[in-house]
Each structure stands twice: as structure tokens, then as C-alpha cells.
Amino acid sequence: MSRVCDLTGKKAIKGNNVSFSNLKTKRRFYPNLHVKKFYIPEEDAWITLKVSTSALKTINKKGISSCLQNLITKGKI
């Protein structure tokens, strides 16, 4: 499974570990993802999405139906 948010598209970015002696080695910064089940009352169905915490805040604010409608209009689903 890839570590990509289903709603926002957030994914891992690259960076450096910097030691006390200022040596740099490559590392990855992963997004804060959670697997959540959401109920869609219009379809009377549950869906499972892998979403970031910022996407959870957006869902709490706007609602799951409007967030999914946004994805459909943008052509990501």
C-alpha cells in the first residue's frame, strides 16, 4: 500500500538527517495517515479511505459528501 492520502494527495517528501557533526544522510518525511471508515448517508454505504489528519479536519468541517463531490469534479475519482 502506498503512503498517499486519498483526498489531499499528500505523500512522502525527501530530506536529510543532520547529525551533531553536521553529516547529512537521506531520509523520508511521511504524512500522518490514518485508515478511516466513513458513512455516506446518500448512498447508505460505508467507505474506507486512507486520509491525512488535515483531510480529517476538512471532512469534519465540510462533510464527507462535499469532499467526495470535490474529488469527482476535479476528476481524481
Specify the pTM: 0.82
Q: For residue 2, what pLDDT is reported?
A: 87
Residue 16 CB partners (closer than 8 Å, separation 6+)? 24, 25, 26, 27
Domains and CATH numbers, the chain: 13-74 (2.30.170.40)
Residue 42 CB partners (closer than 8 Å, separation 6+)? 65
- Going by C-alpha positions, the residue among 37, 35, 40 that lies closest to residue 50 is 35
- What mean pLDDT is predicted for residues 21-47? 96
pLDDT tens-digit map of 4-15? 999 999 999 999
Q: Are the beta carbons of 59 and 71 closer than 8 angstroms? A: no
